[in-house]
Amino acid sequence: MSKVLFSPEARNDLAQIKSYIANDLQNDMAAKKTVGNILNSIKRLEDFPNIGVPLSIATKMIQYI
């Protein structure tokens, strides 16, 4: 089984997302649920490391957005 590791930047991003929803939007429950959903999706990579679009393709897709 693969192990997902979170970079300090990723941890900071999640904390900022949670803070924004909880504080700016004043919805603590939605903040917890949103970050929980993100974490659950990321952790699925431990069991299924090949799901999703390869990074090389995803970065090309972002250039067109």
* Rounded Cα distance, 14 and 36, in Å: 10
What residues contact residue 38 under an 8 Å CB cut-off, 6+ apart? 14, 17
Does 24 reside within a domain? yes
The DSSP letter of residue 50 is T
Does 57 reside within a domain? yes
Q: Which pLDDT does position 64 carry in this prediction?
A: 62
Does 3 reside within a domain? no
Domain extent, residue 44, equals 8-63
Q: Which one has a higher pLDDT value, 9 or 58? A: 9
Q: Which one has a higher pLDDT value, 59 or 35? A: 35
Per-residue confidence at 36, pLDDT binned at 50, 70, 90? very high
Does 51 reside within a domain? yes
Domain count, the chain: 1
Does 25 reside within a domain? yes
Does 37 reside within a domain? yes
Does 2 reside within a domain? no
* Rounded Cα distance, 22 and 33, in Å: 11
Does 31 reside within a domain? yes
pLDDT of 62 > 80? The answer is no
